[in-house]
Structure formats: structure tokens, C-alpha cells
Amino acid sequence: MKILVTVKRVVDHNIKVRVNADHSGVEVDNVKMSINPFCEIAIEEAVRLKEKGVATEIVAVSVGPAAAQEQLRTALAIGADRAILVETAAPPGALAVAKLLKAVVEREQPQLVLLGKQAIDSDNNQTGQMLAALLGWPQGTFASAVDVTAQDVTVTREVDGGLQTVSLRLPAVVTADLRLNAPRYATLPSIMKAKKKPLETLAASTLVTSIETTLATLRVEPPAERKGGIKVESVAQLVDKLKTEAQVI
């Protein structure tokens, strides 16, 4: 079984994000970039499936700038066998990414596609669902457990009311949620070996004729600063403020 797993380059989740000077987006110059955390979970799940003998090959795919090779090398160090970078000049929208991934899927013919459920930068939670729709494949989103057999994949989904278990006929698309697993760290020997693993670069224009987006970011603003709290002298004063000021009781 071949598994295709997606990788997105985002600002590291430990970095405090700042809006850039022209309010067109967030500051990314001289900022540490990493793999999207949910993509890391998807990579880890693919590697675990290979360790169980379910998968025979893992292909990591990223859509973005040339600098995303860094994140693909990390994916290779974690356990992917080879990588593909679909290089784009400008950040594509979710639908454009789904169209490009569809072209890669048709080229690679994997039996399972694993994605993070969402990216921590755009926070759209759209690409996995759009890809499944474009391919006409079944989808299991927000996966907290995955069990793969030769012909089916059973996905335990995190939904508002608790957990839902669905069975999908392969090939299928699965998006990883936070509790699916805990990603491993890439070891130094693995990082050195990853430098020799194949990484192919494709121009987006060779896969899809147009990746123009119909969405435009007008302005980005940081959230309003929170006001400091106050101390009260007694329970009676606390109750009074809850009644008169907060009006919650």
C-alpha cells in the first residue's frame, strides 16, 4: 500500500505571530518555520502504518514555495520514503491546493491520503474535504484512531457529540486530529539519511492550468489586548460585581 501524506510550511507554533507593517498578513521574514502540527500527526500515522507492515511506501507532498523543501526533509527524516514539492509563486487557496493534490494523487495512485485536519495559519479546515470531493473518494475527517486493512479503513472521528466510527472503502482520504498520536522527533542519523532521499520538484503550472483564488485578504488585524483583572476584598464584593458589572448572575 502506498500512502500519500501532505506537509504544509507554517510559522512555528511556539512563535508569537505578529501582523506585518502593511496589515496584509503576518510577519514571516526571519521567523522560524515548521511543519504544520496536524501534518506532523498525519506523517507519524503514516510511519506507524508502515512499521506495522500495512504500508510499503510513504510519499510526502507539499504545495508552496521552494523553502518548503526544509519541511519535506523533516518529513523524510521522520520516516517518509520520498517527497514531492509542488512549487507555487504565491500562496494558493484551499481549493487550488486541493486541485494540485488531486493531480499528484492521479500521478502517484496511492491507496490512502493522509492530511492534517487544518493548518494553524489559515485555519480553514477545507483542503481534505475538497480533495475527497474532487477525487470522488470517501473521507474520514477529524480522525482520532485509524485502522487500515487491505480493502478498508476504519476511522474514529471526533464530533461534537463524542466519537463516531465510520468504515471507508479504499482508496480514501483521512484527516488527522490532535489525539490521533504523538509525533516523534527526528533523530540526527535520520536527518542525515533524509538528505539522500529523493525530493522531486514540480511546477504547479505543469499539473493545473490555473490556481487563481477567488478570495482576497483585505486586511489583517491583531486581536484587541485583554484588560487586566482586578482583586476584590470579599465574596460579597465579588457577587456585587458579577451582578452589576459583568451581569452574569
Distance CA 246, CA 234 (A): 17
**pLDDT tens for each residue of 182-233:** 999 999 999 999 999 999 999 998 998 778 777 888 898 888 888 888 888 9
Q: What domains does the chain contain, in order, with CATH numbers? A: 2-246 (3.40.50.620)
Cα–Cα distance measured from residue 175 to residue 181, given in angstroms and rounded to the nearest whole number: 13
C-alpha cell at 79: 520516516
pLDDT given at position 166: 96
Residue-wise pLDDT for 30-43, tens only, equals 899 999 999 999 99
Asked if residues 141 and 131 have their Cβ atoms less than 8 Å apart, the reply is: no
Strands 9-11 and 152-159: unpaired
pTM: 0.87
